[in-house]
Structure 1
């Protein structure tokens, strides 16, 4: 396991991740497009393996999935750092661009591909999921984190 660190644009908020991501995907939902003007690369990580230094502001919204997604961002520079979903409170979704070494991860799928604009460059070697992905299996002896 590699420990990963990251921060917002101004450095007021930093984080440390001490577990491997459960999933790493490029999201093309309209909310992510509004946040980044493009698809966003996200890591789904266990909430208890993530520590945050600094203060985060929050904004909650009902997503296309029907879940309430609370996005957390730096109140100083506005960088969107992470999110949590009402459907999976045991996880956080980190923005890969905030990692100190974003090359340390590799996306495996494009999700919400149906919402991608016609000009989007979707990697054909990645799994394509038209809408929201299935939830990850619960971790345990039969299903270790992937």
Structure 2
């Protein structure tokens, strides 16, 4: 079985996921822009179980549809490494950049595209949704 480890900048916090990525995408919502300090977030989902090493500081944010997302970031360097959705314990969302794998596959979709900065170009064929289509 394939395993991948994502880690924060300083290496204090990491998560190891197993198996294939269930799906990956880009989020351009203003909350993700603020959270990452970038103009979008790139996320991949993996099925549980997974292993966490190190200490995490958590921040819970309520999404547009009322879901509660628990973001886990390193209290030393501040990198957001992964997040979970309250009540959805069967998967975890990992920040693709924390995998440090430039060969990771291109995103499968782009959400909150209405907030995408005009100069950000998506790969050809990536479906874009004005909001989250859930």
On whether the aligned pair clears a TM of 0.5, the verdict is yes
Q: Is the 8 A contact 1:96 1:102 kept in 2?
A: no
Distance 1:100 1:12, change over 3 A: same
How do 1:61-100 and structure 2 match up within 5 A? 61-86=61-86, 88-100=88-100
Distance 1:65 1:124, change over 3 A: farther
Kindly report structure 1 stretches of 4+ aligned residues shifted beyond 4 Å: none
> What is the TM-score normalised by the length of structure 1?
0.81
Structure 1 window deviating more from structure 2 (108-117 vs 77-86): it is 108-117
3-state SS, counterpart of residue 103 of structure 1: coil
Q: Which has the higher strand share?
A: 2
Q: What residue number does 1:3 align with?
A: 3
Offset at residue 102 of structure 1 (A): 4.2
Q: Is the 8 A contact 1:109 1:128 kept in 2?
A: yes
2:121 aligned with 1:107, yes or no? no
Structure 2's unaligned 5+ residue stretches are none
> What is the TM-score normalised by the length of structure 2?
0.88
Q: Number of residues paired by the alignment?
A: 133
Q: Is the 8 A contact 2:111 2:130 kept in 1?
A: yes
Structure 1's unaligned 5+ residue stretches are 135-146
2:46 aligned with 1:45, yes or no? yes
3-state SS, counterpart of residue 103 of structure 2: helix
